[in-house]
């Protein structure tokens, strides 16, 4: 079987957002050069059986797997890590004390309170202290900043030893800050800058879904570690609309010629 074609080497700085366990979409993204995949388990169509198959498939493609888990709870966080995700993105973190509780589920004692499970992450064998340390260092815990109090306490959240960085949820943050729908206005960018500055001060990364060129420029200028560039359904819709628009232009041109 021939190797899959590669358009460019995968770059972990750029991620695609998937809402379904779409094998073809993952392959296409990898071939195009995306080096990371964000699985929207919270809002997407993932069940545990699908994740058990899809996460190792993505890892085999050579892309980083960031699992935006179902809820800020022990079960979803631990399951994503046990499946082999490189990072857990934890939604709806309300503030530093909430972050202290839920991010602990991503790290083993004595650092945190993650429960041990054998299986994939131990190569279906035993474990030892070096394995625990590798897991704690190698798997990232990224609470989301999408609540007004979490924004106010971003520096304190980033200072937690169980936190490896933060992931911004700009739509929910705008709603919860009383600005209504996220419109990329001055208030939105002021909040983003505040988070970026807090991350820089803590020497920890921040991640951002930047769909527009304006957001992407901002993210690059403010040192975002990883940027989600497009969503699965957005990319599909753009491709379908582009093909149809081209066909309509050609049809109109042919009708005018006749």
Helix ranges (DSSP H) in the chain:
23-32, 48-61, 74-83, 96-103, 129-138, 148-152, 154-158, 170-176, 186-202, 213-221, 232-257
pLDDT digits (tens, 9 = 90+) for 57-96: 999 999 999 999 999 999 999 999 999 999 999 999 999 9
pLDDT band at 189 (very low <50, low <70, confident <90, very high): very high
Structure tokens given for 171: 């739509």
Rounded to the nearest integer, the mean pLDDT of the chain is 95
Pairing of strands 206-209, 34-40: unpaired
pTM score of the predicted model: 0.93
């Amino acid at each position: 079987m021939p190797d899959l074609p590669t358009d460019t080497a995968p770059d972990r700085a750029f991620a695609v957002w998937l809402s379904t366990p779409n094998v073809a979409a993952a392959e296409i993204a990898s071939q195009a050069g995306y080096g990371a995949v964000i699985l929207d388990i919270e809002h997407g169509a993932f069940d545990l059986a699908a994740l058990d198959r899809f996460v190792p498939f993505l890892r085999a493609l050579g892309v980083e797997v960031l699992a935006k888990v179902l809820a800020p709870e022990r079960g979803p966080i631990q399951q994503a890590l046990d499946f082999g995700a490189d990072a857990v993105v934890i939604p709806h973190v309300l503030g530093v004390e909430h972050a202290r509780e839920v991010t602990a589920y991503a790290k083993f004692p004595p650092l945190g309170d993650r429960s041990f499970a054998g299986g994939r992450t131990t190569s279906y064998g035993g474990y030892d202290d070096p394995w625990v340390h590798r897991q704690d260092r190698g798997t990232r815990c990224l609470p989301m900043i999408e609540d007004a109090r979490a924004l106010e306490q971003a520096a304190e959240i980033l200072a937690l030893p169980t936190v490896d960085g933060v992931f911004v949820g700009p739509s929910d943050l705008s709603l919860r800050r009383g600005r209504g729908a996220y419109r990329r206005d001055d208030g939105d960018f002021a909040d983003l800058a505040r988070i970026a500055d807090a991350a820089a001060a803590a020497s920890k990364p921040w991640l951002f879904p930047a769909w527009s060129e304006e957001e992407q420029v901002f993210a690059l200028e403010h040192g975002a570690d990883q940027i989600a560039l497009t969503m699965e359904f957005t990319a599909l819709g753009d491709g379908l609309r582009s093909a149809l628009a081209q066909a309509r232009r050609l049809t109109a041109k042919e009708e005018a010629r006749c």
